Structure 1
């Protein structure tokens, strides 16, 4: 049997293009493919007083570019078997391309990709259509208790911080958005100093450098976006109950956790695994779901971001059981804070995490996403190579100390939506 630590992670190479765009590259010659992912500090945390701006700007870039229509762009990728992707999260906006590495396929795919990146047209007709689709989506969220709970949870946890705003915006903010606003956001965000290129595939470093120069050459150098403000720690608990006509209640419990790159990340990742991160074998699932039958599902996780992302305990239960389910969940967390995992839980969690890690970097698409995250959050280049050894090195006192310092149930936000008919 081969130990997980014996499986070498890919070595990450890093440099900058002539106009200052960071590049993160891993060669992978096993398949005749190339995966490229661009990220920019331009997620919804940068919306300011216009929620939905980042997401709509990103979506509009592929609706028309350099005279090509949305259909033209889509067809140009399909004709060479390439896959184009784009999106906007809280911290970042991204664009991705997967293509065959042969020149006859890669060159036309890159040509369309760079047109979308460099010369979006923001056509009026498509803007109106996407605004309408966004507004329809926002109305549809009002019929989903899970969406209502998520928005209320982030708003309660983050208050006036940029993370509090819904990434898709509000009906009022989206209605008010205009094309000049999108163009201004694009011009400020999609610049070399504010982005990076992650790349892996069937090319050597010389070819990767050539591709990176080609991709970045049409971007202005610009300036890096300002850092997202620090998140204030909660000083008291808050309970929010939102009526919704459903049998099932959606519940979120938690508080701000840690930012990406925090020195306690590995200890907290390991600490959460036996509690609520191991699926049906986790302690919360065994105690709240199996032993008492209070919930359909329950889980917990840390979600680090540029500033402190949330620590979330999520569960779904019948309305008649919601109070007991929340009570027992908090009790189990308090028990864990006192004694931590058993030796068996700790050992099994380490084996599960380290044994499964090679599968998380098994494909090029997995690797390119890791490269983008590592670069965007300025994480060590040996992050993938040292992940399992860092997990294995953590002992119970270290784990429990970190968990106690970051998890304060007395300051938890609890949001309950629905369950009135249960």
Structure 2
């Protein structure tokens, strides 16, 4: 299996550098649609299926429902208990895994082309006849409990949960995505079954497929695996919202020589006309690792942090600009002052021509690396569908980035940072924050 994947990487890199892969729209008799990239030279198939409705749909008090339900999908299905199910996968070198994040639940399948019939049969059982037996539920809950106990003492988890709660008060995004000891006590097989029944529906689904398979064969297998799912989902997705900021930093006391700092502000939705300008701007500010302004100003010139980074988070219901840094307690105020100073400076002056040129070169040059395997391309296909991007997006990505002007960046920087308002959460015993 690993040799085939390595060969695929070598094969696809020249293709991705020259032009995007040809995408075909395939629709089965059941109405299930997939975007397909045919690759007959390597006898493998990778599929990713994604449904809208992740942990943000968990009811209050049942946090972790989506994540655990996804984990349990591959713990037995149909007539196969957990052990027999995994043995069946191993016998034919098939891989099926599932997971849930805040907004989506996804399932990935990888198989040799010659084993596709068995792979899609197992996939059908996974989706339509999950077992949720007592033993795997107990085992998965025990693992989740250990993770929850660790999270309670993890500065990163503490900071993230507090940050999201303050940014999104009263909104599903403001609730923890992971299970707690209390919610694990409440969650039952009925809860997991209801989640799967209500969320894994055909009209709530996007699919990307890459590999050695024809469109006609894929139509048949789509109907086999997904055709018996309910047509309509029964769920309420989170409504659109705007992240909140605070007048001063929020400090969570934590005995440690260093403080972890999260900072953020309202960002950009994925369909915002300024999204590509924001992408270039963010790369220069804090998304470009050691080439970013914040790394240069805070780490290289002053040695205040090991790293500082920023990112755009275009979630379906909210756009967020967020960053993080870690530094010694007594240096927190100075480091945050430099963050604010640089955000205000770019809002006032924009970026230099050389910064823009270098950012564009990196963003366009590194884009083909996202297409370095069957699974990566399948993931790109689902992401494109979820974001409402056309089939020509891969070919046009460089045009979108290169079309960004200095004036576009200045406008977006003013829109995001001109007020200087930030949400700041510090976990530690920081100094120099003032009143």
- TM-score, with normalisation over the residues of structure 2? 0.91
CA distance 1:331–1:5, change in 2 (3 Å)? farther
Instruction: State how many pairs are aligned.
Output: 418
- 1:369 Cα deviation from its structure 2 partner: 0.6
Matched, 1:316 2:316: no
- 1:237-292 CA deviation, whole Å, 9 max, x = no partner? 34211111222211100023222322221111111111111111111000000101
Which of the residues 58, 63, 78 maps onto 2:90?
Answer: 78
The structure 1 segments of at least 4 consecutive aligned residues displaced by more than 6 Å after TM superposition are 3-6
- CA distance in structure 1 between the partners assigned to 2:245 and 2:329 by the alignment: 29
1:285 is matched with: 295
Residues 69 and 407 (structure 1), Cα distance of their counterparts in 2 relative to 1, 3 Å cut:
farther
The aligned runs of 1:307-386 (5 Å cut-off) are 307-386=317-396
CA contact (8 A) 1:260 1:307 kept: no
Partner of 1:197: 207
1:258 matched to 2:268: yes
2:56 to 25, 29, 45: 45
Contact 2:16 2:371 in 1 (8 A): no
1-structure distance, mates of 2:121, 2:418: 51
Structure 2 portions without partners, runs of 5+ = 1-13
1:35 & 1:5 partners in 2: Cα distance? 17
Give, in whole Å, the separation in 1 of the partners of 2:29 and 2:170: 39
Residues in 2 aligned to 1:287 and 1:249: alpha-carbon distance in whole angstroms = 19
Whole-Å Cα distance in 1 between the matches of residues 98 and 363 of structure 2? 29
Q: Please report how far the alpha carbon of residue 337 of structure 1 lies from its aligned counterpart in structure 2 after TM superposition.
A: 1.1
Q: Deviations over 1:218-244 (max 9, x none)?
A: 312133744430113536534211111
Determine if contact 2:53/2:237 at 8 Å carries over to the other structure: no
Query: RMSD of the TM alignment (CA)?
Result: 2.2
User: Contact conserved, 2:200 with 2:233, CA < 8 A, in 1?
Assistant: no
Do the aligned partners of 1:246 and 1:420 also contact (CA within 8 Å) in 2? no
Cα distance between partner residues in 2 of 1:21 and 1:112: 18
CA contact (8 A) 1:36 1:197 kept: yes
| Corresponding residue for residue 101 of structure 1 | 113
TM-score (norm 1): 0.93
Asked if the contact 1:303/1:309 (under 8 Å) is kept, the reply is: yes
Q: What is the match of residue 158 of structure 1?
A: 168
Q: Distance between the aligned counterparts of 1:263 and 1:227, measured in 2? A: 23
Decide whether the 8 Å contact of 1:193 with 1:224 is kept in 2.
no
1:8 corresponds to which of 14, 19, 31: 19
Shift of 1:4: 11
Offset at residue 406 of structure 1 (A)? 3.2
Report the equivalent of 2:30.
19
How far apart, CA to CA, are the structure 1 residues paired with 2:16 and 2:66? 40
Contact 1:41–1:225 (CA under 8 A) maintained in structure 2: no
Aligned counterpart, 1:69: 81
Where in structure 1 are there 5+ consecutive unaligned residues?
none
The match for 2:5 is none
Task: Name the stretch that deviates more: 36-45 or 3-12.
Answer: 3-12
1:400 equivalent in structure 2: 410
**Deviation string, structure 1 residues 132-154 (Cα, Å, up to 9, x no partner):** 22122111112211111111111
Secondary structure at 2:249 match in 1: strand
